[in-house]
Amino acid sequence: MELHIVIHGRKDLANQVYEQLRESIESGRLAPGVQLPPSRLLAAQLGLSRKTISDTYSRLTYENYLVGKIGSGTFVNHLTAPTQRRQSAPVLASQKRIDAWQNLSLPLRHPTREGTLRHDFIGGATAKTQFPLDDWRRCTQHALRQMAQARGFYSQPEGVPELRKAIAGHIAFARGVNCVADDVVVCNGAQQALDLIARVLIEPGCTVAMEDPGYAPARLLFAAQGATVASVPVDDEGIRVECIPEDSHLIYVTPSHQMPLGMPMSLARRQALLDKARRIGAIIIEDDYDSEFRYEGRPTDSLQSMDGFGVVAYVGTFSKTLLPELRLGYAVLPATLREAVIQARQVTDWHTSTLPQWALAKFIGDGLLNRHIRRCHGIYAGRRDRILARLAGDLSPWMYAIPCTAGFHMAVMFKHPIDVALLVALMRKVDIGLYPLTGFYHHVPVRNGLIMGFGAIETLDIDPALDRLRDVLTQIA
Amino acid sequence: MELHIVIHGRKDLANQVYEQLRESIESGRLAPGVQLPPSRLLAAQLGLSRKTISDTYSRLTYENYLVGKIGSGTFVNHLTAPTQRRQSAPVLASQKRIDAWQNLSLPLRHPTREGTLRHDFIGGATAKTQFPLDDWRRCTQHALRQMAQARGFYSQPEGVPELRKAIAGHIAFARGVNCVADDVVVCNGAQQALDLIARVLIEPGCTVAMEDPGYAPARLLFAAQGATVASVPVDDEGIRVECIPEDSHLIYVTPSHQMPLGMPMSLARRQALLDKARRIGAIIIEDDYDSEFRYEGRPTDSLQSMDGFGVVAYVGTFSKTLLPELRLGYAVLPATLREAVIQARQVTDWHTSTLPQWALAKFIGDGLLNRHIRRCHGIYAGRRDRILARLAGDLSPWMYAIPCTAGFHMAVMFKHPIDVALLVALMRKVDIGLYPLTGFYHHVPVRNGLIMGFGAIETLDIDPALDRLRDVLTQIA
């Protein structure tokens, strides 16, 4: 790779090279430790004499910008501290819109490695210690061999056939979803599935209905696309269908495990929702994000499998069964939407990287996903039981869980008014992460409570962490 | 994983199981060859007697839906052909918008493995046989170890720090881009970078200016987001700055290697463009998709490095230097846009999968990217020379190349009117892929020509393929 230096005209050549190198080092563009090309090569590249370049290197070395190491070459000196780049702030035609994006409040950004707490009841994080890294490595090796056979072209926007088939088989078997491989579009997580479906449905100003409280990133996404998002209250059977506006183009729901409250949608409510969607011509997004983990009672039908009208788009993810950082999810689309979503996918970012697609196809095909889900199911069930036992026991004076049958988070409500922000802050001081429900509410009055995830916290850490919670509650409530 | 069967009430239990299994097999949801759970397990799951289940299995076996294999279990029979699923086509509130998406004409969809031609002058495909698979495998192994250290959370929307740093170092060194790691946002290819920048800038009805002819997927993307896309003609110095509408919020250009015509933007034009953007408050996207491969003359400054106003967003990709199917690209953003784009990224699909990010960081850090670019540079230079020699030689009666200095495609124009569609069809019959320029033009009258990529075609195949081209041209022109 050539070092980027631009020569203008034929005058003052040594100085042109000198100025550009010095400026690059001062600005930090050429970082400390970077090796410069041998003077002979740079001279040839720029059509200058070798002496011009080596004189310039010498001058910069004398000025401490560069350092020569005998036998290995010339490097940018570690002693130089880059100066700040100066740029005026332009006045932009789109400034208002940029500001709106910048001020978006995203409640669910996960902490980075450095920012994590020792005991964390965060939602959406999985049991990483359980991740079958050796199996995944083997599947990735397999995927690399698949990749070697392809021709250096773009792949299919809808996903590689092997993975679409594996996903269709998996969800037909385990969730009774009514689909074949052709109905499946592979996405970068469920969030992208929502984005694509919304793109092909939402025109500015049209109405999208969703649960309140509900999944905040979905709300932000629909609003960002120009929709008017209608907040529909939920009761203990799920979304209140009669409150869904008649002019809704899209209805977003989480029937298996309401996000964030947790209760499943009743059968009657599901039927009413399907009937209403058909009547008003709306598409329903069924976000089935973590229903692979089900603990009690008989399974319920997915909305998608009850749908005789072709109005349900079923969205799933491997962020909960495997890892969020893999960014692998999917949509199962009714025939009416399929081509449109695939086109939107290509325009947005062409397709999901092929390597993880092939790895996942192999992982599912070899039965490793099922095995992993079984193992995690047992672990999550244990953690859930532990939390429920404490809530029914020594924590019962202050809080109770909303009954739910699936997933790996639960909503825990306070029995009496309490300063939740204070509680969260005090717990954070003892390295325990708790998360209020506040950010999930939009128009509906906030009920004081917590969303308690049990993916990231180890089973043995639950009791000590809840001991501290009890101690703090005793003090403040 | 449990097989999904739903039991209602306490009546007619055997028949409920029978009907659901038969329907699942008939519809193809349970595909031929799928293994059913042992009757004992299914009975336990459903809370029914084992006899109920084994009787049901027997009945379905007798009816040829299932087949038992001694010692291994019960499987869906291969003899059953799934019936078509019937779904009524709903009348949707968003039908018009869905139709618009569905009827989008995407000129650049790459063929799948089955559909490829023997000799293909397709644009945007890389020399796959050169891909350093062993190096990439080693970097992927390294990335798997990195992944093992993380905690099962979501990663940063802007990309992992290691990769942002590696990209900043690479483009500062090789392209003189004025940036540090904090300015870089990792994206799923350049297309997603365009999508995100457009999202934070475009409101419905606002004007986006771009080159005509120009990169069609960018046009479709901006239009899909509600922009009015202004077609700005180009001449041999690049975009005609005086034709850019004064109310443009965004200007999309390809200065190093105009897409598709190939000529670089002149220095005077670059300066004029920057001045105009600053004056009207527009952001410029500089799509520098393949400038790593430069063959002639002195390098030119990137627009970004000439920008003192903070109006240039520089977009790059590893689709050309490595492989399009990796879906790795990036944006270098002015301070005004950075936070907004990162927020938009999170709402869209959170972040790029971490595994390929860590692999690429290692690949760049170990100097493997530079080595690979050097190797490919030599190969592409040879192919380019071969095509140019033929165009100056026996093909010169019919066609000529537009001068360009970078990349791995060139635009080839016809000297006389010719039926390009017929030419393409005849060449396809002899297994050679040629691609007309037509799809890149929008308002400006189409000039008859071809976009000739030399990434996918092997050097030794060029002469025989161009021999056939000459033969066909002799016949039809």
Domain ranges across chain B: 13-76, 119-127+371-476, 132-365
The 10 Å Cβ neighbour count of residue B134 is 9
Query: Which stretch, B62-76, B296-310, B352-366, has highest mean pLDDT?
Result: B352-366
- Asked whether the beta carbons of residue A31 and residue B172 sit closer than 8 angstroms, the reply is yes
**Is the CB of residue B358 less than 8 Å from the CB of residue B166?**
no
Find the length of chain A: 477
Task: For residue A319, give the 3-state DSSP assignment.
Answer: coil
User: HSE on the CB side for B331, CA within 13 Å?
Assistant: 29
Q: H helices within B235-367, ranges in order?
A: 267-280, 303-306, 335-349, 354-365
Residues A336-368 have pLDDT tens digits of 999 999 999 999 999 999 999 999 999 999 999
Q: Which candidate, B291, B105, B437, B111, places its Cα nearest to that of A153?
A: B111
The position carrying tokens 């969020």 is A324
- Asked whether the beta carbons of residue A29 and residue B89 sit closer than 8 angstroms, the reply is no
CATH top class, domain A13-76 = mainly alpha
pLDDT score at B109: 64
Q: Is the pLDDT of residue B389 over 80?
A: yes
Q: Is the pLDDT of residue B85 over 60?
A: no
pLDDT band for A84, please (50, 70, 90 cuts): low
A219-240 mean pLDDT: 95
- Asked whether the beta carbons of residue B153 and residue A355 sit closer than 8 angstroms, the reply is no
Give yes or no on whether A119-127+371-476 and A132-365 have one common fold.
no
Q: Quickly name the fold that domain B119-127+371-476 has.
A: Aspartate Aminotransferase, domain 1 (3.90.1150)
Q: Which residues of A touch B158 (CB under 8 A)?
A: none
| CA-based nearest residue in chain B for residue A84 | B180
Task: List the single range of B144-153, B427-436, B464-473 with lowest mean pLDDT.
Answer: B144-153
Q: Which residues of B touch A173 (CB under 8 A)?
A: 1, 3-4, 29-30, 34
pLDDT score at A465: 97
* Interface probe, candidates A74, A154, A333, A377, chain B, greatest B C-beta count within 10 A: A154
Q: What is the DSSP string of B166-187?
A: HHHHHHHHHH-----GGGEEEE
The 10 Å Cβ neighbour count of residue A314 is 27
Structure tokens at B35: 């293994």
**Is the CB of residue B191 less than 8 Å from the CB of residue A349?**
yes
* Interface probe, candidates B21, B27, B29, B360, chain A, greatest A C-beta count within 10 A: B29
Task: List the single range of A448-452, B88-92, B354-358 with lowest mean pLDDT.
Answer: B88-92
Residue B64 backbone class (left: φ over 0; alpha: ψ -120 to 50; beta: rest): left
- Asked whether the beta carbons of residue A122 and residue B153 sit closer than 8 angstroms, the reply is yes
**Is the CB of residue B85 less than 8 Å from the CB of residue B421?**
no
pLDDT score at A113: 56
Percent share of chain B, pLDDT over 70: 96
CA distance B227 to B219: 9
pLDDT score at B108: 59
Q: B448 at the A interface (CB within 8 A)?
A: no
Task: List the single range of A149-158, A405-414, B128-137 with lowest mean pLDDT.
Answer: A149-158
| CA-based nearest residue in chain B for residue A376 | B1
**Which of A156, A174, A327 lies nearest to residue B351, judging by beta carbons?**
A327
pLDDT score at A127: 85
Interface of A with B in 15-44 (CB under 8 A): 24, 27-31, 34
Q: Which residues of B touch A2 (CB under 8 A)?
A: 174, 294, 299
pLDDT score at B254: 97
Q: How far is B36 from chain A (nearest CA, A)?
A: 9
Q: How far is B216 from chain A (nearest CA, A)?
A: 10
Backbone φ and ψ of B400, nearest 5°:
-145, 155
Tell which wins on pLDDT, A6 or A370: A370
End-to-end, the C-alpha distance of chain B in Å comes to: 65
User: HSE on the CB side for A96, CA within 13 Å?
Assistant: 3
B413-419 mean pLDDT: 94
Q: A180 at the B interface (CB within 8 A)?
A: yes
pLDDT score at A6: 84
**Is the CB of residue B183 less than 8 Å from the CB of residue B159?**
no
Q: Which residues of B touch A93 (CB under 8 A)?
A: 206, 247-249, 280-282
- Asked whether the beta carbons of residue A29 and residue B179 sit closer than 8 angstroms, the reply is yes
pLDDT score at A80: 55
- Asked whether the beta carbons of residue A29 and residue B337 sit closer than 8 angstroms, the reply is no
Q: Which residues of A touch B4 (CB under 8 A)?
A: 172-176, 299
Percent share of chain A, pLDDT over 70: 96
Residues B101-149 have pLDDT tens digits of 888 877 556 766 556 788 999 988 888 888 899 999 999 999 999 888 8
- Asked whether the beta carbons of residue B92 and residue A141 sit closer than 8 angstroms, the reply is no
Interface of A with B in 297-356 (CB under 8 A): 298-301, 307-311, 323-328, 334-337, 339-341, 343-344, 346-356
- Asked whether the beta carbons of residue A34 and residue B127 sit closer than 8 angstroms, the reply is no
Residues A294-341 have pLDDT tens digits of 888 777 789 999 998 999 999 999 999 999 999 999 999 999 999 999
- Asked whether the beta carbons of residue A153 and residue B336 sit closer than 8 angstroms, the reply is no
**Which of B153, B247, B309 lies nearest to residue A90, judging by beta carbons?**
B309
Q: How far is B302 from chain A (nearest CA, A)?
A: 10
A213-232 mean pLDDT: 94
Q: Is the pLDDT of residue A109 over 70?
A: no
B192-215 mean pLDDT: 95
Q: A93 at the B interface (CB within 8 A)?
A: yes
**Is the CB of residue B452 less than 8 Å from the CB of residue B387?**
yes
Rounded to the nearest angstrom, the gap between the alpha carbon of residue A171 and the centroid of all alpha carbons in its chain is 21
pTM: 0.89
Q: Which residues of A touch B85 (CB under 8 A)?
A: 178, 180
pLDDT score at B191: 96
The conformation of residue A354, written as its DSSP 8-state character, comes to H
Q: B177 at the A interface (CB within 8 A)?
A: yes
pLDDT score at B427: 95
- Asked whether the beta carbons of residue A326 and residue B250 sit closer than 8 angstroms, the reply is no
pLDDT band for A376, please (50, 70, 90 cuts): very high
- Asked whether the beta carbons of residue A5 and residue B88 sit closer than 8 angstroms, the reply is no
Task: List the single range of A1-15, A238-252, A432-446, B378-392 with lowest mean pLDDT.
Answer: A1-15
Q: Which candidate, B174, B164, B227, B238, places its Cα nearest to that of B370?
A: B174
* Interface probe, candidates A95, A145, A325, A369, chain B, greatest B C-beta count within 10 A: A325
Q: Is the pLDDT of residue B353 over 70?
A: yes
Q: Which residues of B touch A275 (CB under 8 A)?
A: none
- Asked whether the beta carbons of residue B29 and residue A308 sit closer than 8 angstroms, the reply is no
Task: List the single range of A294-298, B37-41, B376-380, B399-403 with lowest mean pLDDT.
Answer: A294-298
- Asked whether the beta carbons of residue A328 and residue B156 sit closer than 8 angstroms, the reply is no
Q: How far is B474 from chain A (nearest CA, A)?
A: 31
Rounded to the nearest angstrom, the gap between the alpha carbon of residue A389 and the centroid of all alpha carbons in its chain is 31
Q: Is the pLDDT of residue B80 over 60?
A: no
pLDDT band for B382, please (50, 70, 90 cuts): very high
- Asked whether the beta carbons of residue B220 and residue A5 sit closer than 8 angstroms, the reply is no
Cis peptide before A260 (omega within 30 of 0): yes
Q: Is the pLDDT of residue B297 over 80?
A: no
pLDDT score at A185: 98
Q: How far is B18 from chain A (nearest CA, A)?
A: 15
Residues B161-197 have pLDDT tens digits of 999 999 999 999 888 899 999 999 999 999 999 999 9
- Asked whether the beta carbons of residue A93 and residue B335 sit closer than 8 angstroms, the reply is no
Domain covering A132-365: architecture: 3-Layer(aba) Sandwich (3.40)
CA distance B103 to A340: 8
Q: A376 at the B interface (CB within 8 A)?
A: no
Torsion angle, CA of A275/A276/A282/A286, rounded to 10 degrees?
Answer: -70
Q: Is the pLDDT of residue A83 over 80?
A: no
